[in-house]
Amino acid sequence: GRVAQTGEPMLLEDISKDQRTARPDLITLEGLKGFVSIPLKAKKKVIGVMNVASHVAGRFGADDVSLLNSIGDYLGTAIEQAKLYEQLARAGERYRELLRHALIAQEEERKRIARELHDETSQALTSLTLSLQAIIGMAEAKGIGDAEFMERLKTMHKYSVHAGNEVVMLMKELRPTLLDELGMPAAIHRYAKDTLQAQGINVSTEFRGTNRRFQPEAEVTLFRIAQGAIGNILEHSGAKNVSITLECDANECVLLIEDDGRGFNVSKLTRVDPSGRGAGFFTMKE
């Protein structure tokens, strides 16, 4: 206790004769004589004590104390760093767990919105489209309305069809049914083909390794990464060719997406700027 309180080393020629010892029975049992107690310090704060004993009385001298003191300083720093690393690891684990819960909550919200779009918005647009189509048919059959009126009806019908298609695409973005039905590789393949080829970009996809289903959150996360990368390619790269490789074994999956478009220096992208530039990159990184 005294060494921990004072922060100073203690040297005893024969600890068995010292009345201050807390466990004289243990000292007698082990036959301990010469004794040195060294404080372990980190940033000038005592974080522990190192005791060294010998069966020979007077075994330790001033030089031994000096050497052990130096060792104690190194040990104290090492212990403190180990504690910091452990705290950092725990903080990282908590962060990953919070991120996992956030991703799950995000996907649940996506599914909820997709259901509402399907059950309400999409149904309403379908009804509107069919109604407009019926009105146009009736008007044409009975010769009702002038050319301008009919043109406006047809324009409204075209807009409703377009809006319905946009809602369907949005539902696919929010919750790709292929991910549930066929799994991650097929979903990534289909999304890449449908999205990139529609813009005149050549796409090649390859899947290697274990052909099995993974945890739902893992599949969703990889799909969202692919989705984000494909979005960046469309928006920023000007690429003509894209290659997507997904390689999985029993423990991990590696997704590689390459294109021949304009690149950027990742090391210079340290934050999301006010215009939103960098948001996609950091979202994928998270």
Q: For the chain, give every domain's residue range.
A: 2-87, 177-286
Nearest to 105 by CA among 219, 225, 217, 224: 217
- Assign residue 150 a region: left if phi > 0, alpha if psi is -120 to 50, beta otherwise? alpha
The pTM score is 0.53
User: Which class does domain 177-286 fall in?
Assistant: alpha beta
Q: What is the DSSP letter of 99?
A: H
> In whole angstroms, what is the distance from residue 84 CA to residue 89 CA?
8
Coil, strand, or helix at residue 110? Answer: helix
CATH of domain 2-87: 3.30.450.40
Given a contact cutoff of 8 angstroms between Cβ atoms, the answer to whether 1 and 48 are in contact is: no
In tens digits, the chain (286 residues) has pLDDT values of 788 888 999 999 999 888 787 788 888 888 999 999 999 998 888 999 999 999 999 999 999 999 999 999 999 999 999 999 999 999 988 988 887 788 778 778 888 888 888 888 989 999 999 999 999 898 888 887 688 888 888 999 999 999 999 998 888 777 767 777 778 888 888 888 888 888 899 999 888 887 777 777 788 888 888 988 888 888 888 889 999 999 888 788 888 998 888 876 666 665 556 555 555 555 666 5
